[in-house]
Structure 1
């Protein structure tokens, strides 16, 4: 299945504030974290939704496998 492509600007609007969707990107893949209680209002500890979190994961207490529980909605271009 071909993934829909989204720009950084489009992703930025899915921050839990401007739109009801809460999305984050990691390694070029965009995930829908809207249903996660840990992303309520688009904030997860010191991280904000609507952006690419690839560089920030190294500081997280979990591995990238955490993204496997979320639906893939597209790819970041």
Structure 2
């Protein structure tokens, strides 16, 4: 599996590049196809970063990541 740096992840925020990526528990996910991540924002969460710690405040469980295939690992 390809390894991505935090800098590479940060560029995929829906603003700087068209891809919308997030990381969770060491895996990187491309959520570009999700309408819930329109323009790189999902409620108060921004794409291009590791959202592992922010999940505890979410109204859903980590099962939400089952909808997406991981595209890589976070370095």
TM-score (norm 2): 0.98
2: distance between equivalents of 1:4 and 1:68? 19
2:45 corresponds to: 47
2:66 corresponds to: 68
| Dislocated runs of 4+, deviation >6 Å | none
Unaligned 5+ segments in structure 2 are none
2:9 corresponds to: 11
Shift of 1:72: 1.0
Equivalenced residues, count: 75
1:59 corresponds to: 57
1: distance between equivalents of 2:30 and 2:66? 11
2:19 corresponds to: 21
- What value does the CA root-mean-square deviation take over the aligned residues? 0.4
